[in-house]
Amino acid sequence: MGEIDLETYFARIGYGGPRAAGFELLAALQRAHPAAIPFECLDPLLGRRVNLDAASLQAKLLARRRGGYCFEQNGVLWRVLTQLGFQVTPLAARVRWMAPEDAPLGPLTHMLLKVELPEGDFLCDVGFGGQSPTAPLRLEAGPEQATPHGLYRLVDRDGGLELQMRLPDRWAALYRFNFEPRVLADYEVGNWFTSTWPASRFTTGLMASLAPEGRRLSLMDTGLTTYFADGRTEQRTLASAAELHQTLTRDFGLDVSAEEAAQAFAKLSGPAA
């Protein structure tokens, strides 16, 4: 599956601690990764191909200081953890976020990881945007599990598990999955569908998120929301391509040109939008 240059990865996420495979390192990486590498889907919105090979992921997310979505984010983490000596099983999930409880199940279009440790098995996911858990979650149904950016739980569903996140007034489902191991070809199919289907949220809109200490930044098209750990939120609407460019480069730290931001803004504010 190819390898990621570990020194480049650690520099990108700002991690300089111990590298012995274990829970401490796993938790440190799952905290540092979404604080440094934004979730974003600019390429599908602009009609560009999303490549999942190791060289392309390293060039985009690490060298060029761009972000990506689940197949890219967890694709990097999968390789990094494996190279560090972790026992990792890649899995796939059906997204349930914002879907009615009785909505039909969708396709397997989300990538997540199972990591086996002496302490037990853990769910690791740095690619679910503004709802990504920022700590490993023990793979067992029932208990509420706290992370630096929210409360999560796993519940039994359809012979597998459903990941849920606590909102102010309720528990909300993120996705459902089982423990069937996946291979890169499975993700290539899901990636192609997600990044090219004309009705995909990733080809029709812009999403970006980042989880620095004490807050989450979430961009949905031209709406920017900051969620603070104390429950406060701040919202504003980006009224121009220049504001979008400033937000992507300054707030999310992305290497995006003014021309790319202008193309995205035109798509988001055009007749189709």
Half-sphere exposure of 176 toward its Cβ, with a 13 Å CA cutoff? 15
**What is d(CA 139, CA 109) in angstroms, rounded to the nearest whole number?**
20
- Given 33, 41, 43, 70, which residue is catalytic? 70
Determine which one of 110, 124, 221, 245 is catalytic.
Answer: 110
- Locus of tokens 């000596």: 85
Residues listed for the chain: 273
Residue 156 among the catalytic residues: no
User: What gap in Å lies between CA 189 and CA 4, rounded to an integer?
Assistant: 22
User: Of the listed 33, 41, 124, 125, which one is catalytic?
Assistant: 125
Instruction: State whether residue 236 is helix, strand or coil.
Output: strand
CA dist 233 to 126, 166, 226, Å?
Answer: 22, 16, 5
In the residue annotation, 125 being an active-site residue is answered as yes
Q: Is 70 one of the annotated active-site residues of the chain?
A: yes
Contacts for 27 with CB less than 8 Å, ≥ 6 apart? 135, 136
Q: Extract the tokens encoding 179.
A: 């423990």
CA 152 to CA 46: how far, in whole Å? 33
- Report, in angstroms and rounded to the nearest whole number, the Rg of the chain calculated over CA atoms: 18
Token pair 């603070």 is found at: 228
> Residue 139, Cβ neighbours under 10 Å: how many?
16
CA dihedral 108, 110, 115, 116 (to 10 degrees): -20
Q: Is the distance from CB of 100 to CB of 84 less than 8 angstroms?
A: no
The owner of tokens 């700590």 is 135
**Which structure tokens are listed for 114?**
């199972």
Write out the catalytic residue numbers.
Answer: 70, 110, 125
